[in-house]
Structure 1
């Protein structure tokens, strides 16, 4: 669905799609029912109806907040992906990114607040803890470059991508604005209602003013749905929206 919305593809199934034999006509037919069958006994979502291990999300908000908070470990500051698993750099994105949606759901669009360069507000999770884990534990000592799962493992492209994504989320913020949604050829306009904002001052909690990272380590903000820079989302959408004949 992410690619369908970004590339302005039609929702209708191809005429020869095998799923049409089961009475389905679009990519979203029976999708809610399928997701419901993926909920495990813990309340979390597994990868398919046949799997039973919750992995990365909950359907009801109270359980989600409890489960998500439990994924950030102390003293490391990084995230694990499942119950009784070790911290892993890639979950800086796979779990850490979900806080963007939760924060947007629980509060009104924030007012911009000034922070000392390199410092972060805490909010619902320890952004500083996550940043320090990525900088301290995910960079290999061998000088190869790239980021890794955890110490004593080697760096690779996968962990580099998602550790840096989580690092960016902790540095920046975004919020959802219904008024910012624009029309979409396939009706999937919601992803384009997200707008980047400066990192707000923490609302009601103490926040650290000590730099958690050097200012030159500041990354570009990423779109929370597409996990690419905001300008790339707009350029890609504009390019494919102009295409016809799909």
Structure 2
């Protein structure tokens, strides 16, 4: 199993352990947290984020982007709502690609244009020098609470990450609906798409018995089965 897949499995295992044991503040929030969102509201929240991230990555490079560390975006994790003690859920999506030799400013500009078209005003920052140089494009609101595009010119690595606000609701209950199982198995990550490409369509339902996107060793299955 590759180091990347081991990291993915570890991250998901930790997240799942928190959800299933109640650590990290899972559970349905009370009055200060607001009315728990329905599955349909959560799906709409996910789709807005996923469609936005897809638009940004396709504007940068219309190719298959890897889903980094299993962060497809449909797996809820627990969070704390504002300054209260109420628990909620959030969704996060991370996509990555290597574009060696590509101009970092050009990538940042393409991302900025895409965000503006989505109604998000971006902020571009260029920090560091040499191998440590990093160009970032940050957008607040719109498709997600925060969207960040990170370009590392020395390696050609490009990463796009988005995270929703902490919404009222139980991460455990939502995960149960997304994956159609009360107790999620350790290899639930195999049900999540490994890539986001030109023909990808956001999916928010991954029940047991559905398509698998990774084999037992953690290698992405090729070709990937259609999501949804």
Bucket of the pairwise TM-score, normalised by the shorter protein:
under 0.3
Larger Rg: 1
Query: Structure 2-normalised TM-score?
Result: 0.25
In the superposition, the TM-score normalised over structure 1's length comes to: 0.24
When you count strand as a share of all residues, which structure comes out higher?
Answer: 2
Higher relative contact order (CA 8 A, sep 6+): 2
